[in-house]
Structure 1
Amino acid sequence: MKHITLLYPEGLCNLSTIACIVGTVEIFATANNYWMRAGNKQQFRLVVAGTTPKEQFIHKLVALNPDTYIKDIPKTDLIIIPSAMPGEKTAARQEMFDWIRRQHKAGAEIATMCSGAFILAATGIMDGRNCSTHWSNADKFRSMYPAVHLYSDKLITDENGIYTNGGAYSFLNLVLYIIEKYYDRQTAIFCSKVFQIELDRDSQSAFVIFTGQKQHGDAMVQQAQAYIEKNIDEKISVEDLSSRFAVGRRNFDRRFIKATGNTPLEYAQRVKMESAKKALESTRKTINEVMYDVGYSDVKAFREVFRKITGLSPLAYKNKYNREAVSEH
């Protein structure tokens, strides 16, 4: 029988941590019961393992009683790290990082949920690998762990036994993904129906709220960002933008990418599409009106950029998020 360790990293938790742990335990129990009712032998044993023997209430609301502690687990086959931030380094946290490294070296697979990716990245295991985390943590993650290849649009990554998840309550999709891998497709379908979780979601793009990376010290880039955000209705060329700030085009591009993680063109597109998304969500404007408002005159080009950034067409996005638009049909 294989062993699954669901980490309970005391001192690093929030309510999302508890949700990840409780949800995972319940769905795995349902999968196991379904599997055994079909006449199969139990394949996995899941335990919730604490990192320190110290009970800690989260938001003065709830505390978990772990089944065991990581120091008492000599070997496990899968470690699941729930939503949690690594925090300042302490002896107890170093012990947790060392335990994760040892288990991985011994062959354990690892799955992270949401900000749990920060804990795994802190061990060095993620260096050079692909990773996802919650879109709101993307800038912070990139600055802390530049050696990790972050894909903040992806809902799930799967690379040689390392699984990561986009974030928040989409941990449910990661649980189904692992259940399909560890049991079978039919068991995952059963759990998706019982818990009413949509199967096979692969993107968090439609949920991203773009605010732009502003936590950098390049005053010229900050001015360029402000100009782009103030002139959403204009068709801005990078040549015009770089000359406006009296910087050569190549040097402008280099500084902009270093500061924001986006090229100037990508940044302008993201700012424009964020404005378009808000208009489609909350106004009665037509697709063409929204398109003109954000400086596009070519419907095909607007649709292509919108779909690239959100994963949906403008019409599909409007129908998904604008209740008034849906009621008009």
Structure 2
Amino acid sequence: MDIFEADIDKSHRVGVLVCAQASLASLGLLMDVFRMANQMPGSHRFELVRVSNDGAAVRHPDGVLSVDGGVALLAGADLVVVPSMWTQGATAIEHNPRLVEALRDLPEHVLVVAMCSGAYMLAATGRLAGKRATTHWLLAEGLQARYPEIQIDAADNLVQEGGLICSGGSLAGVDACLYAVQMLTDRATARGLAAMLVTDLNRGPQSRFMPSLGMRRHADKEMRRLQDLLESRCHEAWGLGDMAARVHVSVRTLQRRFLAATGMTPVQYLQAARIERSKDLLELERLPVPEVAARVGYQDRVAFGRLFKKMVGMTPAAYRQKHR
């Protein structure tokens, strides 16, 4: 039997890490999810155990947070949840070494959910090395730079690697908790809980909320000029050599500088520019989808549709219907 297969008639212990860097909204959301789950019909119940670095109440900037004790209470946990730390992920690691050690030493069968920048604390354990993970798209570049051995995929709202589950922005933590409920119980229970929370069980990729054309608040004028070119002439066939020639650098230098400036590769940027232009065409014109694809540089409608759905979270036809 799979180690994550749901048991029947079981109370599940859920360890909740509490620290001064935690987002109160994130803490409240995750606790509400499991408290609401206890109102669901059926035999599965969730016991919430709040744990701090030293076992004492936490002096949070927004008030004192009570806890149930220290990391010893994680013994016997079925699930441990790390709330969002918003922009204080690195600080949380520094000030909560026992929590990091406890995460590192959890048995393999224990599920771990890292909400948003809670991924920093999970990354600090070394357990994500060589694995995929996600976090809020705005923080992904910093997390990737700090832990280059982890494959950060900011486009995904939810990433599971074995028993490790990471989510995107703070509200995506609800998705992660619902997913953990599904793994500990069953899909029907998770679906019913999602309905009670007035949300979807799967809300699609985080890429729907990312600024699709990357960051422009950088000082590299040549890369900004190339961004303008790729946006205005996205329908043209661009190779890396063509892009590099435009800014008078080598391909290798182009790739390094463009990624550093925008958080995207040049090819990713070109794809994003094409998808943004196609969204405009779908909203404003009555062109068939194959013609929309051709107008933004794609002759293969299937490839265009696949990329559009990956980046936008719906098909071109569905996008047109929603936005017209």
TM-score range, shorter chain: 0.7 to 0.9
Q: Which amino acid aligns with 2:165?
A: Y
Instruction: Confirm or deny that 1:101 pairs with 2:104.
Output: yes
Is the partner of 1:21 in helix, strand or coil? helix
User: Retained in 2: the 8 A contact 1:129–1:159?
Assistant: yes
| Cα distance between partner residues in 2 of 1:267 and 1:46 | 43
1:122 lines up with 2:124 in the alignment? yes
The 2-side partners of 1:188 and 1:20 are apart by: 16
Is the CA contact 2:58–2:64 (under 8 Å) kept in the aligned structure 1? yes
Q: Are the equivalent residues in 2 in contact too, given 1:233–1:292 (CA < 8 A)?
A: no
Q: Distance in 2 between matches of 1:11 and 1:77?
A: 24
Alignment of 1:132-211 (within 5 A): 132-211=134-213
What residue number does 1:79 align with?
80
Distance 2:82 2:287 in 1: 42
Counterpart of 2:34 in structure 1: which amino acid?
V
1:5 to 15, 31, 34: 15
Question: In structure 1, which of residues 14, 23, 42 is the aligned counterpart of residue 23 of structure 2?
Answer: 14
Unmatched segments (≥5 aa) in structure 2:
1-10
Q: Aligned partner of 2:101: which letter?
A: D
Residues 197-256 of structure 1: CA deviation (Å, up to 9, x unaligned): 222445333333224256778664454334434x25652523332222223445534654
Contact kept? 1:100, 1:123, Cα under 8 Å: yes
CA deviation map 1:167-215 (0-9, x unaligned): 3323222222211211122322321232232224453333332242567
Q: CA deviation at 1:79?
A: 0.9
Report the CA distance between 1:131 and its aligned residue: 1.0
Q: Which residue, 295, 309, 312 being the options, matches 1:310?
A: 312
Q: Residue 266 of structure 1 is aligned with which of 244, 265, 268?
A: 268
Q: Equivalents in 2 of 1:21, 1:94: separation in Å?
A: 22
Partner of 1:39: none
Q: 1:23 aligns with which of 8, 29, 32?
A: 32
Q: Which of the pair is proportionally richer in helix?
A: 1
CA drift at 1:259 = 5.7
- For residue 35 of structure 1, the aligned residue among 37, 42, 58 is 42
Letter in 1 for 2:20: G
| Alpha-carbon shift at residue 308 of structure 1 (Å) | 3.6
Q: Is the 8 A contact 2:215 2:261 kept in 1?
A: yes
Partner SS state of residue 210, structure 1: coil
User: Where does 1:50-65 land on structure 2 (aligned, <5 Å)?
Assistant: 50-51=52-53, 53-56=56-59, 60=62, 64-65=65-66
Aligned CA-pair RMSD:
3.5
The answer on whether the counterparts of 1:11 and 1:56 sit within 8 Å (CA) in structure 2 is: yes
1:49–1:70 CA contact under 8 A, matched in 2: yes
Give the structure 1 partner of residue 246 of structure 2. Answer: 244
Cα contact 1:20–1:82 (8 A) shared by 2: no
CA distance in 2 between counterparts of 1:161 and 1:112 reads 11
What amino acid is aligned across from residue 42 of structure 2 in structure 1? W
Cα separation, partners in 2 of 1:144 and 1:268, compared to 1, 3 Å: same
Check whether the contact 1:5–1:78 (CA below 8 A) recurs between aligned residues. Answer: yes
Give the Cα–Cα distance (whole angstroms) in 1 for the partners of residues 151 and 298 of structure 2: 35
Q: TM-score, normalised by structure 2?
A: 0.77
Q: Which amino acid aligns with 1:309?
A: M
Structure 2 counterparts to residues 228-307 of structure 1, below 5 A: 228-229=230-231, 231-232=232-233, 235=236, 237-238=238-239, 239-249=241-251, 252-253=254-255, 255-257=257-259, 260=262, 262-277=264-279, 279=280, 284-286=284-286, 291=292, 295-296=296-297, 300=301, 303-307=305-309
Are 2:259 and 2:265, in contact at CA under 8 Å, matched by a contact in 1? yes
Q: Matched residues, percent identical? A: 24
Aligned pairs, number:
308
2:144 and 2:152 in contact (8 A); partners too: yes
User: Is the CA contact (8 Å cut-off) linking 2:132 and 2:150 kept in structure 1?
Assistant: yes
Is the partner of 1:68 in helix, strand or coil?
A: coil
| SS of 1:247 mapped into structure 2 | coil
Give the Cα–Cα distance (whole angstroms) in 1 for the partners of residues 150 and 93 of structure 2. Answer: 23
**1:63–1:225 CA distance, 2 compared to 1 (3 A):** farther
Are the aligned partners of 2:57 and 2:66 in contact in 1 as well (CA < 8 Å)?
Answer: no
Gapped regions of structure 1 (runs ≥ 5): 37-41
What SS does structure 2 have at the residue aligned with 1:110?
strand
